[in-house]
Homo-oligomer: A and B are copies of this chain.
Amino acid sequence: MKRIVALAGGVGAARFLEGLARVVPPEKIFIVVNTGDDACFHNLHIAPDLDTITYTLAGVADRRRGWGITGDSFRCLQGLGRLGAETWFQLGDRDLATHLYRTERLRQGSTLSQVTAEISLALGVRATIVPMTDSPVRTQVRTRRETLDFQTYFVRRRARDVVQGVSFRGARQARPAPGVIEAIREASGVVICPSNPILSIGPILAVPGIGEALRKTAAPVASISPLVAGRALKGPAARMMKSLGLVASALGVAKLYREFASVFVLDCADQGQARRIEALGLKAVVTNTIMSGWREKKALARIVLESLR
């Protein structure tokens, strides 16, 4: 079965994939998810992007907050606070089950791929969700003063620091999760979801072998700009691109992907950049990329699919 492979971060990717799973059979979607954001809290293995993708496709994601499970409560977290433990990383009670289960299965010797498959099966997700790697890769952010773990930068310090560098600890020794390289090689098309190119797609590309597979695959590779009019709909992508000396625009993102992408999907607001993107050797597709509802999500998915033909 020819599948569509998607490289995904968290919320932005999840919204796009929701639409995609309505316009193609979900069984045909193979999603490679960033795990550079993974972290350990209270001895639990937290995998924020895997959970966001899984919960969204399972229909249980909290859309308003952008993380966790809808209608979740926080009694355990309140209890931890009462005991004087750290509570800056929010853990919902229902969400905790996922972390406890994942942590226990990993300690028993399962791989992250296996556990991810078990969780998505249990929650009724029909698309295939795999971590980019089963090895530990941890995104670190360098500010003027120090190097921060991703979640410390992102959650605890609310992404306020000026980022001077980003690195992916453990990436060099990491191997792509089972099936990732084959899936890219045999894909009918590859989609780089509208995620932060540095923090979400960056770690995936840092896993040795994945970039090469993208360059070598016969499948067309379409990327979707996460920036609209120079701003990210969510998260620090634009500000971070600037502080890293990149241009925070659709064009700036297109430059990061031109090595392996053949199509670049950008928002109508940025149509003025289409010609310069085409000049990079990419086919520019201008459309509405703001996925405010089901109609927009499905329309964007259809246009991306079309561009992969």
Contacts and interface: CB of A to CB of B under 8 A. Distances in A.
Contact of A97 (B83, B98, B101, B104): B83
Contact of A100 (B72, B75, B80, B119): B80
A84 interface: yes
Contact of A98 (B83, B95, B107, B123): B83
B122 A100 contact: no
Interface string A82-95: 11110000000111
Interface of A: 42-44, 69, 72-73, 75-80, 82-85, 93-98, 100-101, 103-104, 107, 118-119, 122-123
A122 B85 CA distance: 10
Nearest to A82: B122
Contacts of A119: 83
A76 B93 contact: yes
Q: Could you say how many copies of this chain the assembly holds?
A: 2
A93 B73 contact: yes
A168 to B, nearest CB: 26
A119 to B, nearest CB: 6
Given A43-B104, A79-B95, A80-B101, 11 more contacts: A44-B100, A76-B76, A76-B93, A78-B94, A79-B93, A82-B122, A83-B97, A83-B118, A85-B100, A93-B96, A96-B96
A93 B118 contact: no
Q: Interface SS of chain A: helix, strand, loop or mixed?
A: helix
A75 B94 contact: yes
Given A119-B83, A122-B84, A75 B93 contact: yes
Contacts of A85: 97, 100-101, 104
A97 B84 contact: no
B76 A94 contact: yes
Contacts of A98: 79, 83
Contact of A80 (B77, B79, B82, B97): B97
Contacts of A100: 42-44, 76, 80, 85
A73 B100 CA distance: 17
Contacts of A78: 94, 97
Nearest to A80: B97
A42 B73 contact: no
A76 B96 contact: yes
Contacts of A84: 118, 122
B83 A42 contact: no
Nearest to A115: B83
